[in-house]
Amino acid sequence: MELLDRALEIIRTYPLCDSCLGRLFAQMGYGLENFERGRAIKTLLHMKLVDEYRKGRDVLNDLLALAKIHKPTSRFLTSLGINVDEAACYICGGLLKDVEKYAKDVLPLLEGVEFRTFEVGTTVPKDVVERESEVVKRFLITSGESVKHEINRRIGKELLKHLTGKRVDKLRPNIVVRVDLITGKASVERNPLLIEGVYLKLSRRVSQAKKFGDVKSTLWDKLVYIREVFGGKEHVIHVSGREDSDARMLGTGRPLVVEVKQPIKYDGAIPPFRDGDIIFTPIGFTNREEVRRLKEKAKTDIKLYRALVLSERPLTVEELNKIGELSGKTIIQYTPRRIKRISPRKKRVRMVYELAWRQISPRVFELYVRCQGGLYVKEFIHGDGGRTTPSVSEILNTHLEVLELDVLSVE
């Protein structure tokens, strides 16, 4: 069916404004707004019907239907002594006439926010959406777009007229403009800012996020400055794995992402941080997908640890060499007693790839463990009362205590 025939069939049943009629054919005619497309369709229908009327064809009812929503057709019928009252649009009821006006309510909300990208989201009356769906289903429309999509786009285009250097980004916008067409209220959501980096932990009294026991500070505390740089209300950290508070994180460092919530700046230099406890090196801005990848990768990362171990009894070199039996072994661990309250029955299976050791004194040795991420290394060494098996303590048949633990690399 030709476009004009389909449009006329729709108009016979439903009075539609220029925007709502044009939106049903949104995929036809590039570079046109829906109201321009709808107006053009009505103009062509007007020309066709007037021509047929003058040739004596029975198109008066079609002219009457068009005249309800098209002033030139109404004027033509008036010249014939036929007056037709204007009808409200069946779908939007006039809502789309000036949706751009909402942009002026948004602009004051953006003052003081330094952003690059935005997206517009709207709440549209439910009955408008339902009526549009009714028309689309009845006439099997496959060439249109939704009323909500049109409203979002039109408000966005109006905002761009006043926002120099900004652009619309539907995937990862800095801010989301919300307009409720039911209440007429506008609001702005400032999306989190994500900064990727790596950190070294040089102190054995610093934890990642919580203070407890002998902990004097946290990584979270040290990175408050990033929140302040971007004017955020709060911040959280997402880390690729976790080391104990009394373990140092050395080597090339551990990856993490700092999430700054509701920032007022979305761009700018990210200064590094260094004190006696922490070294943080920022890499740059990142996205939510990277946070998910970071956490998933922590489960499969290969990590190298150094431990200083004290034995309850003196050990010979021959006894220490038994440690080699654990290279390439699968280790089964139940939640350590020190964190048993969190998930007491949880079972964890991890690989130990390589082990190396060096005797320092009859009762003290240095142990290097290259293993799969997520292995409880302290428990792998001392056995945790049988909750980890096999363990170094089990192989050496002695009670072991971990005096120091360092993470040397995260591969």
**Rounded to whole angstroms, how far apart are CA atoms 399 and 381?**
9
Helices 34-54, 3-13: axis angle to 10 degrees equals 90
Which distant-in-sequence residues (6+ apart) come within 8 Å of 360 by Cβ? 308, 366
**Rounded to whole angstroms, how far apart are CA atoms 154 and 167?**
14
Sequence ranges of the chain with CATH classification 3.30.70.2510: 193-297
> Which CATH number applies to 302-410?
3.30.70.3190
Q: What pLDDT score does 340 carry?
A: 60
Helix (H) or strand (E) holding 228: helix 224-229
Q: Is domain 193-297 classified as CATH 3.30.70.2510?
A: yes
Segment 199-244, tens digit of pLDDT: 999 999 999 988 888 899 999 999 999 999 999 999 999 998 889 9
Sequence ranges of the chain with CATH classification 3.30.2130.30: 95-189
- Asked whether the beta carbons of 280 and 224 are under 8 A apart, the reply is no
Q: How many residues does the chain have?
A: 411
Q: What pLDDT score does 261 carry?
A: 97
Which amino acid, 153? R
Sequence ranges of the chain with CATH classification 3.30.70.3190: 302-410
DSSP 114: B
Q: Which residues contribute to the annotated binding site for substrate?
A: 305, 376
Instruction: Assign 333 a pLDDT band (cuts: 50, 70, 90).
Output: very high
Q: Which residues contribute to the annotated binding site?
A: 305, 376
Looking at the DSSP bridge assignments, the partners of residue 180 are: 123, 185
Structure tokens at 210: 């919580």
Q: Mean pLDDT for the chain?
A: 94
pLDDT > 90 in the chain, percent: 89
Segment 335-364, tens digit of pLDDT: 898 876 656 668 899 999 999 999 999 999
Nearest 10 degrees: CA dihedral of 68, 73, 78, 82? -60
**Rounded to whole angstroms, how far apart are CA atoms 264 and 159?**
19
Distances (CA, A) of 97 to 82, 154, 389: 27, 11, 72
Q: For residue 324, is pLDDT > 80?
A: yes
- Classify domain 95-189 by CATH architecture: 2-Layer Sandwich (3.30)
Instruction: Assign 29 a pLDDT band (cuts: 50, 70, 90).
Output: confident
Q: 40 burial class (0-12, 13-18, 19+ CB within 10 angstroms)? A: middle
Catalytically annotated residues: 244
Q: Which residue has the higher pLDDT, 360 or 296?
A: 360
Mean pLDDT, range 261-286, rounded to an integer: 96
